[in-house]
């Protein structure tokens, strides 16, 4: 299970967001370069259609593979009252031939993306991960090596995602920790449940300018 | 200090394991008496009982909307958990010569996908014995659902760190000694070691638990064939 909120930010303000996150989290950022493959079951397989994501972490010395299943989100009055999405999510590391396994089992590639950016992992009432990244479509199959073969999905815009692992027992506290952290980012971006369109916030430019000048003055 | 270092080195290194299965003579089946005799035989050659051991193997079957199209999906899809790495899980697609290692929670993902279901699950369970530099694990193969005896397996492991070629030779010699010790008992069958072609599965060089998983998948094929020939 995980708690998640998402938002977008203009690429020109990403540096300011990075400065803010560095100050808030107190940890160094980690670079992100992930090849995401979304597979869907063929029509005759399974009681209903299913979807699986195979992630390949290209930042590791040897590409590291993970299988991710994102399940249904929590519903009902309780879920409506909290500002973050609570959903089931299971991740399992796997050997490099896991993609071949799912192809052989009857899953077909639906789409693939290259996700490039950075992440902050830190403890703040919960184990929170903030990722700031841009998604690119790949023009050739599995072409992760060259940027010539990729096209940004939303040029000039980056996706920000805040996630934290949770359980049926503690999701309310984790959701509260995520919400309270998101308030610090509010001047730069608005974070909401996935699927809720947020847009960019009008205060972003001023907040970014302020952060950049503050960062500049502290560096001197 | 040196001993600790050696222990750390030893843990990183996975010694070669041979998985053997009991092949009953024509017209015979396996029974618990044979298992008892085999265990006694290990003790008679000074095997020291160390503790229990258990592996599990599950057969996954595709969930299909129209049975007529079931043939397009693999039917020999196995999931294996081994006691040496309880937080890992192994998938073997025998027909396609594929072995995959994943975290054990991949089983939860498979359950959530609802595209494959485990139809039969088998436990391989018994006792572990120490015999000098060798470890022997002797156990029964039982269905989780019915507890009925489906077969007998034995794992043979040569502990000291050495090259694969060297340990392979020593294991071969030990297997001969073991067969000789067992032949003194009038048992209706013998242990068989079928070494799969690991290269076909993309496995080579250093022995890993993926090699063990492939061996289990191979002996299952043999055990099913034996059971079917007895039934026919």
Which one of B100, B104, B113 has the shortest CB-CB distance to A101?
B100
Closest Cα of chain B to A51: distance in Å?
7
| Selected residue of A90, A100, A108, A165 to mutate for chain B interface (largest B Cβ count, 10 A) | A90
- Residue numbers in A near B99 (CB within 8 A): 97
Q: What is the pLDDT of residue A78?
A: 77
The total number of structural domains that make up chain A: 1
Which one of A46, A52, A94 has the shortest CB-CB distance to B63?
A46
CATH number of the B15-227 domain:
2.40.320
**Per-residue model confidence as pLDDT tens digits over B113-122:** 999 999 889 9
For residue A67, give the chain B residue with the closest CA: B106
Q: What is the pLDDT of residue B2?
A: 54
Which one of A41, A42, A90 has the shortest CB-CB distance to B105?
A90
| Selected residue of B115, B117, B217 to mutate for chain A interface (largest A Cβ count, 10 A) | B115
Q: What is the CATH number of the domain that holds A138?
A: 2.40.320.10
Domain containing residue A174: 2-219
**For residue A160, what is the enclosing H or E element?**
strand A157-165
Local confidence band at B8 (pLDDT 50, 70, 90 cut-offs) = very low
- Contact assignment for B102 to A100 by CB distance below 8 Å: no
Residues of chain A with pLDDT under 70: 146-147, 216-220
**Per-residue model confidence as pLDDT tens digits over A104-160:** 999 999 999 999 999 999 999 999 999 999 999 988 777 777 667 788 888 999 999
- Contact assignment for B109 to A106 by CB distance below 8 Å: no
């Amino acid at each position: 299970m995980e708690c998640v909120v998402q938002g977008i930010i203009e690429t020109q303000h990403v540096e300011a967001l990075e400065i803010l996150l560095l100050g808030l989290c107190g940890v160094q950022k980690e670079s992100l370069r992930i090849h995401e493959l979304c597979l869907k079951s063929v029509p005759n397989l399974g009681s209903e259609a299913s979807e699986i994501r195979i992630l390949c972490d290209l930042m590791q010395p040897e590409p590291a593979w993970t299988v991710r299943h994102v399940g249904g989100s929590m519903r009902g009055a309780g879920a409506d009252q909290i500002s973050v999405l609570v959903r089931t999510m299971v991740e399992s590391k796997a050997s490099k031939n896991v993609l071949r396994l799912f192809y052989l089992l009857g899953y077909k590639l639906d789409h693939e993306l290259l996700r490039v950016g950075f992440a902050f992992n830190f403890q703040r009432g919960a184990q929170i991960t903030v990722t700031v990244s841009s998604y690119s479509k790949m023009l050739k199959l599995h072409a992760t090596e060259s940027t010539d073969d990729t096209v940004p999905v939303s040029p000039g815009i980056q996706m920000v995602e805040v996630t934290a692992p949770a359980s049926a027992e503690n999701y309310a506290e984790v959701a509260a920790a995520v919400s309270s952290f998101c308030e610090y980012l509010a001047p730069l971006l608005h974070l909401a449940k996935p699927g809720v369109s947020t847009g960019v916030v009008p205060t972003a430019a001023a907040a970014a300018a302020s952060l950049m000048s503050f960062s500049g003055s502290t560096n001197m | 200090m040196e001993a600790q270092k050696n222990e750390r080195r030893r843990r990183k290194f996975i010694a070669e394991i041979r998985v053997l299965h009991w092949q009953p003579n024509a017209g015979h089946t396996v029974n618990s008496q044979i298992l008892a005799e085999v265990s006694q035989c290990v003790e008679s050659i000074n095997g020291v009982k160390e503790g229990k051991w258990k592996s599990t193997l599950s057969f996954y079957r595709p969930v299909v909307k129209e049975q007529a199209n079931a043939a397009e999906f693999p039917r020999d899809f196995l999931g294996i958990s081994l006691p040496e790495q309880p937080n890992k899980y192994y998938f073997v697609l025998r027909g396609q010569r594929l072995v995959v290692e994943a975290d054990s929670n991949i089983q939860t993902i498979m359950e959530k996908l609802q595209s494959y279901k485990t139809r039969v699950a088998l436990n391989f369970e018994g006792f572990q014995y120490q015999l000098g530099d060798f470890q022997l694990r002797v156990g029964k193969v039982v269905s989780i659902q019915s507890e009925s005896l489906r077969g007998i397996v034995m794992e043979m492991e040569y502990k000291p760190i050495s090259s694969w070629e060297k340990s392979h030779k020593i294991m071969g010699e030990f297997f001969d000694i073991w067969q000789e010790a067992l032949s003194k008992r009038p048992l209706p069958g013998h242990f068989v070691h079928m070494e799969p072609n690991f290269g076909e599965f993309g496995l080579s060089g250093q022995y890993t638990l993926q090699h063990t998983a492939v061996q289990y998948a191979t002996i299952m094929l043999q055990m099913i064939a034996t059971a079917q020939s007895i039934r026919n």
